[in-house]
Structure 1
Amino acid sequence: MSKVLLIDDDVELVDMLKEYLEQEKFEVNVAYDGEAGAAEALTGQYAIAVLDVMMPRLNGVDTLRRIRAKSSMPVVMLTAKGDDTDRIIGLELGADDYVPKPCSPREIAARIRAILRRASAENNEQSPYSPLAVGALSMWPEQRRATWNGKPLELTSSEFNLLEVLARNAGKPVSKQHLSEQGLGRPLARFDRNIDVHLSSIRQKIAALGSDKSCIQTVYRLGYQFIKE
């Protein structure tokens, strides 16, 4: 049973989501404001959090920032329909996915399952003694751990998945459709820029570890490519 944390001040929506997720065999706990939600998320008890952007005491963006300062647990954000600003800021801060409101419990359950299924598959795929190594990058999928030139590379769950797909195909262009299916667990939607934002974040994190050039290149009309050094 996977434990889910819902962080949202909309009592009616939370009750509906909690009831549905429990019927789907998830264990669910609830926090009704950002302060309580961040504290609960950082207890380490949860497989994933679902976080609303608009909340009292501490909004969703600041709550995510507080979580990301100490944890890489998967986070799905709930944003107002059509509000690209909140969505992009959330992704840049390390959200793994987003769902625009109004949303159905079924869709949220599907997004949660996709993220957790991908993480579980990676955990069982490789021996802990056999890292995936390409140039300065080393990844241990079963531990969800990565380093760059021996320094810890702190990635969100979705960032880790996308970088792993690129690393396994190093030297070859990978389409955004393939990245979305293999890295995010869902088909690429029209006008979806999640992958672009996630990869921009990865580039920034690698640069912060001392890399003076981007190992991830955009390939015109094809997608992205991890450059072998």
Structure 2
Amino acid sequence: MNILIVEDDLNIAELEKDYLGLNGYDVTIETDGSLGSKEALTGNYDLLIVDLMLPNKNGFEIIKEVREKYEIPIIVVSAKNEDISKIRGLDYGADDYLTKPFSPAELLARVKSHLNRYKRLKGHSNVVSLISIRGLDIDATSHKVSIRGKEVSFTTKEYDLLLFLAQNANVVFTKEHLFDRIWGDDSLGDTATVAVHIQKIRKKLEKDPSNPEYIETLWGTGYRFNK
């Protein structure tokens, strides 16, 4: 599996590369934001690790550009610990956020988790290949989503969550169940990320996100996809 690290602190980048390399990953480093974006857009990578504060182009811009073309997992690694930076990173399409300093073992655990989930998602063959519900089309073979005829880009987690809910339409799921199902027991996040991702999905699908047609909130219970 090929991993791209875009990090201007070469000492940190080399440490990440060495640890991931010892565990069987092929790792490339770019220390410049513009060059990192260009390299990420080649399509040669299975996962991107990106810092936010970079010369010439920041991490938010890179995430946005990559997400417009690819569904690969994106992990933000940054010294910025503010909630607004984490939320903004997720809004732009990141799948995870690590705050410096962190242990190489923690980074490895998250890399493995995201890559394993991404591979399962891409290789899932026991699902209905096409789901069409009131103008929403989900193609589980090509992993494409269209709303009212217009294709919409989703992060891996957004797509995984939407597909799971649509495949189990009219079934109510708690946040805890969805977190365990989509993020997995090895995730180091919390159930609050479920609500964040639901909001992001609604913004992309709904004519009026405050009055959702597809994913309904059942207060005190969870969420349900209305078929």
> Could you say what secondary structure the match of 1:39 adopts?
helix
Counterpart check, 1:73 vs 2:72: yes
**Hey, what's the Cα distance between the residues in 1 that align with 2:146 and 2:114?**
22
Match of 2:59 in 1: 60
Worse-matched range after superposition: 97-106 or 35-44:
97-106
Aligned equivalents of 1:132, 1:20: Cα separation in 2: 41
Shift of 1:80: 2.9
Check conservation: 2:169, 2:225, Cα contact below 8 A.
Answer: yes
For 1:160 and 1:192, the matched residues in 2 are separated by: 17
In structure 1, what residue type is equivalent to 2:8? Answer: D
Distance 1:70 1:121, change over 3 A: closer
The residue identity in structure 1 corresponding to 2:174 is S
Q: How do 1:142-157 and structure 2 match up within 5 A?
A: 142-157=141-156
Alignment of 1:195 with 2:222, yes or no, is: no
Question: Which residue identity does 2:115 align to in structure 1?
Answer: L
Q: Per-residue CA shift, 1:17-64, capped at 9, x if unaligned?
A: 100101111111011121111111100000110111122221211222
Q: Tell me the alpha carbon deviations over residues 88-146 of structure 1, each in whole angstroms, 9 at most, x when there is no partner.
A: 00101111111121111211122122122112112222269832444433323343222
Gaps of 5+ in 2: none
My pick for the range that moved more, 46-55 or 190-199, is: 190-199
- Which secondary structure state, in structure 2, belongs to the residue aligned with residue 9 of structure 1? coil
**Aligned pairs for 1:2-151 within 5 A:** 2-80=1-79, 82-126=81-125, 130-151=129-150
Alignment match, 2:158: 159
Aligned equivalents of 2:160, 2:128: Cα separation in 1 = 19
> 2 CA distance for matches of 1:129 and 1:204?
25
CA shift for structure 1 position 185: 3.0
Instruction: State the match for 2:184 in structure 1.
Output: 185
Is the contact between residue 179 and residue 190 of structure 2 (CA under 8 Å) also seen in structure 1? no
- 1:176 is aligned to 175
How many residue pairs are counted as aligned between the two chains? 226
Q: 1:167-225: CA deviations, max 9, x gaps?
A: 1221122122222222223467676532222221111111369xx84311222122222
Aligned CA-pair RMSD: 2.6
Range 39-48 or range 96-105, more displaced = 96-105
TM-score scaled to structure 2, two decimals? 0.88
Corresponding residue of 1:227: 226
TM-score normalised by L of structure 1: 0.87
Question: Counterpart of 1:143 in 2: which secondary structure?
Answer: coil
Of the structure 1 ranges 162-171 and 61-70, higher mean CA displacement relative to structure 2 is found in 61-70
CA gap of 1:174–1:37, structure 2 versus 1, over 3 A, is: same
CA shift at 1:166, angstroms? 1.3
Percent identity over paired residues: 32
In structure 1, C-alpha distance between the alignment counterparts of 2:91 and 2:124, rounded to whole Å = 28
Residue 81 of structure 1 deviates from its aligned partner by 5.9
